[in-house]
A and B are shown apart, each in its own frame.
Chain A
Amino acid sequence: MNVAVLQFPGSNCDQDALHLFASGLKVPARYVWHKDTGLGSADLVVVPGGFSYGDYLRCGAIARFSPVMRAVRDFASAGGLVLGICNGFQILCEAGLLPGALIRNSSLEYRCLTCELAVEPSTPSFGPATLGPTIRMPIGHGEGNYRIDPEGLARLRANRQVLLRYASNPNGSLDDIAGIRNETGNVFGMMPHPDRAFERFHPSQDGLAVARAVLATRFPEVLKRAG
């Protein structure tokens, strides 16, 4: 197995994401530079957190145009697994790989804290059956307020595309949404950081289970290996 972690100028959770997989899950992981036009052989592409290109415009608005994102789009449309964390989630929404948009927190302030999250039954590998009914993961963002039009929200609900909901909404997100997947179930995006929830001393180790649940979409043996 092989995990590709994208690096944009301004990515700052790229190392965190790499370690989640490499040190946490013991899955080989490597970086892919934003100017690259190919991903190499990848089983999962992680779009990490940070401030890609400074995010002085809308978050992720510039990153979507970078050369590597064309490769990510092709990879996703061929059914490849993609996980966007925080800024990565924003980029995937801007790139049209996930529906909806993320706007400024309703407090107009950045928020860094650990959130309790309700796990929604979404896919065979991502749901309360594999993760438990609630998990805890940290957030760290200024623009995590998820928005979508009423039809879009109805579709998300009907297709069970909501992955995670905040128990106590920290940013004004519609319907308390903290993470979603695309309709076909191979592209995942979430504001909470699994890459801040895997070390012994982290607020929880639930990030490992989340990363495993994403991988298990295509590689069910990952779950078996974890026992």
Chain B
Amino acid sequence: MTEPFPPNPDPVLNQPITPALVKKHGLLPDEYARIRAALGRDPALTELGIFSVMWSEHCSYKNTRPLLKGFPTEKKHIGAGFGRVLVKAGEENAGIVDIGNGWAIAFKIESHNHPSAVEPFEGAATGVGGIIRDIFTMGARPVLLTNSLRFGDLSSPATKRLLRGVVAGISHYGNCVGVPTIGGDVYFDRSYEGNPLVNALCLGTLRHDQIRRGKATGVGNPVYYVGAATGRDGLGGAAFASKELSAESSADRPAVQKGDPFMEKLLIEACLEMMSVPELVVGIQDMGAAGLTCSTCETASRGGAGIEIELDKVPQRETGMNSYEIMLSESQERMLVIVKKGREREIEQIFEKWDLHASRVGFVTDTGRMVVRHHGTVVADIPARTLTDEAPVYQREAREGPGPVAARAWTPAGLADLDCAGVCAALPRLLSHPTIASKRWIYRQYDHMVQHGTVVAPGSDAAVVRLRLGEAERFIAISNDGNGRYCYVNPHRGALIAMAECLRNLACSGAVPLAMTDNLNFGNPYKPEAFHPLKECVRGLAEACRFFDVPVVGGNVSLYNESPEGAIDPTPTVGVVGLIESEAHVTRQHVRSAGERLLLLGGWPDELGASQYLGVIHGLKMGDAPAVDLAVEKSLQDLLLSQIRAGRVRAAHDLSEGGLLVALSEMLFGGDNPPAAPGLGAAIDLSKGAATRTDALLFGESQGRVVLAVLPADEPAVLVAARAAGVDAAEIGAVTGDGILALRLARPEANVSWPVAELRRAWETSIEAQMARPGLG
């Protein structure tokens, strides 16, 4: 046993560590024993707090690390001078991928689910702030944001309050900080009642020589604290995020941080200016989860060094904070910077220019220890690696629950198929369901145009942005996907679909995939029935990533997503970034003029399981997720890209939630830019549709399907190319100028039609009408 510290004059900090106190910190008796062994003595209270946050799931991935090892982190086949992974997943705050000509992108997705559940505005706002810091800490200028959101049933007042708050929070932060929010996905399902998901993704651009690392090296180099002052907000947020939400969670509101996007904007500019000075910055890391604690021990651990800091020098906005509070605070908009010794004045001048704190709080040592002093007393002295690389790792038990097994065994045999009137009524009902309906009410609150690079705004299969890289330009596309219904009934397949659909969306927009980031949103890992879908989803994502040679460059795990109602549907949200080689290849989902022919690629849909149709029309979450064949998907994507590059594709839209009829309707609705041509309709003949059921043909969500709009003159060439690629292709109709979506069916033998304007209204105004506040214009 080594000597304990001299007693701390503060009796609170000096209290003996009891089993009850250990439990309150979310640490198991075994884990406490490991702490004692690592220190060779009992920890002091501040140290216990430090271990509790660093060994929480949020920081340590202790229950998921073995699973995540299955992800491919490098691209195997590098062609055309782009796509190489420059910074791998897990190495740093965000992964980095080469996009050619000496330029790269850094991107990552991260969740803020628990904070958003109890305080939606600040929870979502600080989620955006946190992910932006992860990007600029790598040396990259943030250029776009997207988000994956999941809420309960929109008809419930609680969901409306959460949606309003989350959207306002993202809007407040993203708009002010000047990074456009250009896309994302949103689902509404009862399983997210009381436990919404807020996953925010940020992407930034940088030159290869601008890549910065979160490493503390060089004995004697000064350690600076820059940005906002530390308060008591967000105390223990990482630990809070690592337990289930309960009726008492609102009492955890102090664990939710408060964001200041203006401060963040200044921090971005000041940090990028500082990093542009050659050789000035040795290492840099944001203070996110677990704040000062995490940033100091992680930088020390990565650098194989030690760090000593003095808390009296930490800028504070409250008086009387003790070391426990300062170390565990998650106050926002703060960074830790390790600077080359002797160049202190340079960094101080830059931060003075931006009117920001830059306080020298410590220095790098060679002891491998994280030493913290406050009021002249050592309050923590811990080998840095025990907090990071040597954190516990567990293999959890996985067992499938009875619900998914029963759901997969279900067949629609007992369900009456649609008749003519049923078809007529079902389409507008599906289009107005908030999961499928236009998200305009949401994205019009986001500044999606700032930085003047937005090419395809929200509302198409993938968002497209022009990157200005010095004198050169690059076009990239990004898509977010993740269907919780599929993952509930069949987690492995649901995960394969999430990747396949994401890549299909990118191919529809003309992009070749570069790399992926994912956010794993699941329930309590200590429950085998919640751990099983996590394990299966990760296996599915890894398999798909390997198959498509799309490396995982980072992400986030959010567990304990359970409310008193139970666990959420297992929800991996996937964000894939793709490169569009030429501006001419940018393709949208909207048809452009009458006369265009509509081709269905991939064959007739014929599956109903886990579809939105079953959910919306029959109130069921049953049946197996649609089958998915990665090789077929790959052929389809390659065909799409080849036809887009040949200039033969006027519009392309993938079949997803709501199936064929929803996809066709969306193609006719048009986007904002270019504005929709008035009066477009379509005459569709599905009488040859070889499906066993009409509902499955029209609304089934079979994978690997895309509808293309092509000019009549190009149609033969596209069909020939499809045959050569082994992709089923059939003409199903043409775009008309009569403003009617007309459908010919064989069973029931009937013609059904809808005015497109009516369908569009159902789709476009649904969320808006449900969120309307009387009296406001």
Supply 17 further A-B pairs (C-beta < 8 A) apart from A12-B177, A13-B178, A51-B176: A9-B262, A9-B266, A10-B265, A12-B265, A13-B450, A50-B178, A51-B175, A51-B178, A54-B263, A112-B446, A113-B444, A140-B447, A140-B449, A196-B450, A199-B452, A199-B466, A203-B672
A9, A13, A15, most chain B CB atoms within 10 A: A9
Is A109 interfacial (CB-CB < 8 Å)? yes
CA of A111 to CA of B440, assembled, Å: 10
B776: which of A15, A106, A112, A114 is its contact (CB, 8 Å)?
A: A106
B672 & A114 in contact (Cβ 8 Å cutoff): yes
A179-207: contact bitstring with B at CB < 8 Å (1 yes, 0 no)?
00000000000000101101111110000
B176 & A112 in contact (Cβ 8 Å cutoff): no
Q: Taking A10-B176, A51-B261, A53-B262 as contacts, is the C-beta distance between A110 and B776 under 8 angstroms? A: no
A51 & B262 in contact (Cβ 8 Å cutoff): yes
A110 & B175 in contact (Cβ 8 Å cutoff): yes
Q: Which residues of A contact B672 (CB under 8 A)?
A: 113-114, 203
A–B complex contacts, Cβ < 8 Å, 7 sampled: A12-B176, A49-B450, A56-B262, A110-B175, A199-B466, A201-B586, A202-B452
CA of A109 to CA of B121, assembled, Å: 13
Q: Which of B392-428 contact A (CB under 8 A)?
A: none
B175 & A140 in contact (Cβ 8 Å cutoff): yes
Is A226 interfacial (CB-CB < 8 Å)? no
**Shortest beta-carbon distance from B270 to chain A in Å:** 10
**Shortest beta-carbon distance from A110 to chain B in Å:** 5
Q: Which residues of A contact B673 (CB under 8 A)?
A: 114, 202-203
B250-261: contact bitstring with A at CB < 8 Å (1 yes, 0 no)?
000000000011
A111 & B445 in contact (Cβ 8 Å cutoff): yes
Which B residue sits closest to A145, measured CB to CB?
A: B777
CA of A111 to CA of B168, assembled, Å: 11
Is B629 interfacial (CB-CB < 8 Å)? no
A10: which of B168, B171, B262, B776 is its contact (CB, 8 Å)?
A: B262
**Shortest beta-carbon distance from B143 to chain A in Å:** 11
Is B547 interfacial (CB-CB < 8 Å)? no
Interface residues of A (CB under 8 A from B): 9-10, 12-13, 15-16, 19-20, 49-51, 53-56, 106-114, 138, 140, 142, 169, 172, 193, 195-196, 198-203
**Shortest beta-carbon distance from A193 to chain B in Å:** 7
Is B757 interfacial (CB-CB < 8 Å)? no
B655-674: contact bitstring with A at CB < 8 Å (1 yes, 0 no)?
00000000000000000111
Q: Which residues of A contact B265 (CB under 8 A)?
A: 9-10, 12, 51
Interface residues of B (CB under 8 A from A): 168, 171, 175-178, 260-263, 265-266, 354-355, 443-452, 455, 466, 583, 586, 672-675, 773, 776-777
A54: which of B176, B444, B674, B776 is its contact (CB, 8 Å)?
A: B176
B583 & A110 in contact (Cβ 8 Å cutoff): no
A112 & B583 in contact (Cβ 8 Å cutoff): no
B466 & A112 in contact (Cβ 8 Å cutoff): no
Q: How many A-B residue pairs have CB under 8 A?
A: 97
A16 & B452 in contact (Cβ 8 Å cutoff): yes
Q: Which residues of A contact B452 (CB under 8 A)?
A: 15-16, 19-20, 195-196, 198-199, 202
A9 & B451 in contact (Cβ 8 Å cutoff): no
Q: Which residues of B contact A193 (CB under 8 A)?
A: 449
CA of A12 to CA of B451, assembled, Å: 8
CA of A73 to CA of B262, assembled, Å: 26
**Shortest beta-carbon distance from B356 to chain A in Å:** 10
B449 & A196 in contact (Cβ 8 Å cutoff): yes
**Shortest beta-carbon distance from A19 to chain B in Å:** 6
CA of A200 to CA of B452, assembled, Å: 11
Q: Which residues of B contact A107 (CB under 8 A)?
A: 776-777
Q: Which residues of A contact B675 (CB under 8 A)?
A: 114, 203
CA of A145 to CA of B444, assembled, Å: 16
Which B residue sits closest to A11, measured CB to CB?
A: B178
Which B residue sits closest to A9, measured CB to CB?
A: B266
Which B residue sits closest to A195, measured CB to CB?
A: B452
Which A residue sits closest to B446, measured CB to CB?
A: A112
A110 & B171 in contact (Cβ 8 Å cutoff): yes
**Shortest beta-carbon distance from A208 to chain B in Å:** 13
CA of A56 to CA of B261, assembled, Å: 10
A138 & B449 in contact (Cβ 8 Å cutoff): yes
B455: which of A51, A55, A56, A201 is its contact (CB, 8 Å)?
A: A201
Q: Which residues of B contact A54 (CB under 8 A)?
A: 176, 260-263
10 closest A-B pairs (Cβ-Cβ)? A12-B178, A54-B262, A106-B777, A203-B673, A201-B455, A51-B176, A16-B452, A140-B447, A196-B449, A110-B445
B445 & A12 in contact (Cβ 8 Å cutoff): no
Which A residue sits closest to B455, measured CB to CB?
A: A201
Q: Which residues of A contact B354 (CB under 8 A)?
A: 9
**Shortest beta-carbon distance from B738 to chain A in Å:** 25
Q: Which residues of A contact B261 (CB under 8 A)?
A: 51, 54
**Shortest beta-carbon distance from B459 to chain A in Å:** 11
Q: Which residues of B contact A16 (CB under 8 A)?
A: 450-452
A110 & B466 in contact (Cβ 8 Å cutoff): no
A201: which of B262, B446, B466 is its contact (CB, 8 Å)?
A: B466
Which A residue sits closest to B776, measured CB to CB?
A: A107
A20, A50, A55, A169, most chain B CB atoms within 10 A: A50
A112 & B260 in contact (Cβ 8 Å cutoff): no
Q: Which residues of B contact A200 (CB under 8 A)?
A: 583
Which A residue sits closest to B672, measured CB to CB?
A: A114
Q: Which residues of B contact A109 (CB under 8 A)?
A: 168, 171, 445
B777 & A172 in contact (Cβ 8 Å cutoff): yes
B444 & A112 in contact (Cβ 8 Å cutoff): yes
A12: which of B168, B450, B777 is its contact (CB, 8 Å)?
A: B450
Q: Which residues of A contact B262 (CB under 8 A)?
A: 9-10, 51, 53-56
CA of A56 to CA of B263, assembled, Å: 12
CA of A102 to CA of B449, assembled, Å: 21
**Shortest beta-carbon distance from A150 to chain B in Å:** 21
CA of A112 to CA of B354, assembled, Å: 28
B171, B178, B451, B675, most chain A CB atoms within 10 A: B178
Q: Which residues of A contact B674 (CB under 8 A)?
A: 203
Q: Which residues of A contact B448 (CB under 8 A)?
A: 112
CA of A166 to CA of B773, assembled, Å: 23
CA of A114 to CA of B458, assembled, Å: 13
**Shortest beta-carbon distance from B655 to chain A in Å:** 27
B446 & A15 in contact (Cβ 8 Å cutoff): no
CA of A113 to CA of B262, assembled, Å: 23
CA of A66 to CA of B261, assembled, Å: 20
Q: Which residues of B contact A140 (CB under 8 A)?
A: 175, 447, 449-450
**Shortest beta-carbon distance from B581 to chain A in Å:** 16
**Shortest beta-carbon distance from B381 to chain A in Å:** 39
Q: Which residues of B contact A19 (CB under 8 A)?
A: 452
**Shortest beta-carbon distance from A197 to chain B in Å:** 9
Which A residue sits closest to B262, measured CB to CB?
A: A54
Q: Which residues of B contact A203 (CB under 8 A)?
A: 672-675
**Shortest beta-carbon distance from B611 to chain A in Å:** 32
CA of A155 to CA of B451, assembled, Å: 36
CA of A9 to CA of B171, assembled, Å: 19
CA of A34 to CA of B83, assembled, Å: 40
B265, B447, B455, B672, most chain A CB atoms within 10 A: B447
Q: Which residues of B contact A108 (CB under 8 A)?
A: 773, 776
Which B residue sits closest to A7, measured CB to CB?
A: B269
**Shortest beta-carbon distance from B775 to chain A in Å:** 10
A55, A110, A114, most chain B CB atoms within 10 A: A110
Q: Taking A51-B265, A54-B261 as contacts, is the C-beta distance between A112 and B445 under 8 angstroms? A: yes
CA of A107 to CA of B444, assembled, Å: 12
**Shortest beta-carbon distance from B155 to chain A in Å:** 21
CA of A165 to CA of B436, assembled, Å: 34
**Shortest beta-carbon distance from B166 to chain A in Å:** 13
**Shortest beta-carbon distance from B109 to chain A in Å:** 22
**Shortest beta-carbon distance from A5 to chain B in Å:** 13
Q: Which residues of B contact A172 (CB under 8 A)?
A: 777
B444 & A111 in contact (Cβ 8 Å cutoff): yes
CA of A9 to CA of B675, assembled, Å: 35
**Shortest beta-carbon distance from A199 to chain B in Å:** 6
Which A residue sits closest to B464, measured CB to CB?
A: A201
